[in-house]
Amino acid sequence: MTILEVTGLRKTYTTRFGGNKVEALKNVNFSVNQGEYVAIMGESGSGKTTLLNILAALDKPTAGSVILDGQDLTKINQAKAAAFRRNNLGFVFQEFNLLDTFTLEDNIYLPLVLAGKSYGEMSQRLAPIAEQLGISGLLKKYPYEVSGGQKQRAAVARAIITHPKLVLADEPTGALDSKATDELLRLFSAINQGGETILMVTHSVKAASQAKRVLFIKDGEVFHQIYRGDATSEQLYQKISDTLTMLATGGEGR
């Protein structure tokens, strides 16, 4: 079942001085099925961040549509967008984006509190998630007291505690060391196996090689995609590397 359908997405920026137009996204089309784990790769400036902002309803496209579970994101107004994000999307950012005035526990509760849930329900929901993410003992700590990996796990907990239709991850391993990266990627796979749909934007071949499908964006278009199929992570890693090399050397392929 298709949960996300992106068609003919275009985004043009006008620079502040003069009328120079920059086309961040030209024509993006792809779809994601329920329970999928998709990685989007591309170089800096390829339009990844723009795409993610549009998927997150933080930005509006110039043309095209994004349909999440039957609802067109591009038609939602600003006031409703926040509630929509809260109820349907979970976010994991490179810089964790935890509020330093909250304990990890309160940071994780934030979206639920905004949705008006009671404390009893929230703590009931948190227990298994904290267990799975291995942060049960850290809940009363403040962000500045824990490591980057631990912060990111708390951020993942915050993203999935609302049972979102789609988890958007923006370079989730970008600020982590290799050990924490491995740990986080393992958790992502586990969460995906638990039924969550994940869309991850990344630079890291290692991170992408854990996904079930990898999309490549170049110059504002989906340029290529690789399905994992029966391949192991190592084989996928190799395939991705080859594709990236080809992209960099400017080969024509599809």
Site residues, other proteins (CB under 8 A): 56, 58, 78-79, 81-83, 85-86, 91, 93, 97-102, 106, 109-111, 113-114, 116-119, 122, 142-145, 158
Minimum Å gap between C-beta 105 and other proteins is 11
Q: Which is nearer to other proteins, 111 or 213 (CB)?
A: 111
Q: Which is nearer to other proteins, 98 or 214 (CB)?
A: 98
How many other CB atoms are there within 10 angstroms of residue 220's CB atom? 23
**Residues 96, 175: Cα–Cα separation, whole Å:** 9
Q: Which is nearer to other proteins, 165 or 206 (CB)?
A: 165
Minimum Å gap between C-beta 95 and other proteins is 9
Residue 148, Cα to own-chain centre: how many angstroms? 18
Minimum Å gap between C-beta 24 and other proteins is 17
Minimum Å gap between C-beta 76 and other proteins is 12
Q: Which is nearer to other proteins, 56 or 66 (CB)?
A: 56
**Residues 244, 238: Cα–Cα separation, whole Å:** 10
Q: In what order do the strands lie in the sheet with 198-202?
A: 71-72, 63-68, 2-14, 21-33, 221-227, 213-218, 37-41, 198-202, 166-170, 89-92
> H or E element: which one contains 29?
strand 21-33
Q: Which is nearer to other proteins, 11 or 85 (CB)?
A: 85
Minimum Å gap between C-beta 158 and other proteins is 7
How many other CB atoms are there within 10 angstroms of residue 233's CB atom? 15
Reading the block at residue 43, the tokens are: 């170089």
Q: Which is nearer to other proteins, 81 or 246 (CB)?
A: 81
Minimum Å gap between C-beta 75 and other proteins is 17
**Residues 182, 203: Cα–Cα separation, whole Å:** 15
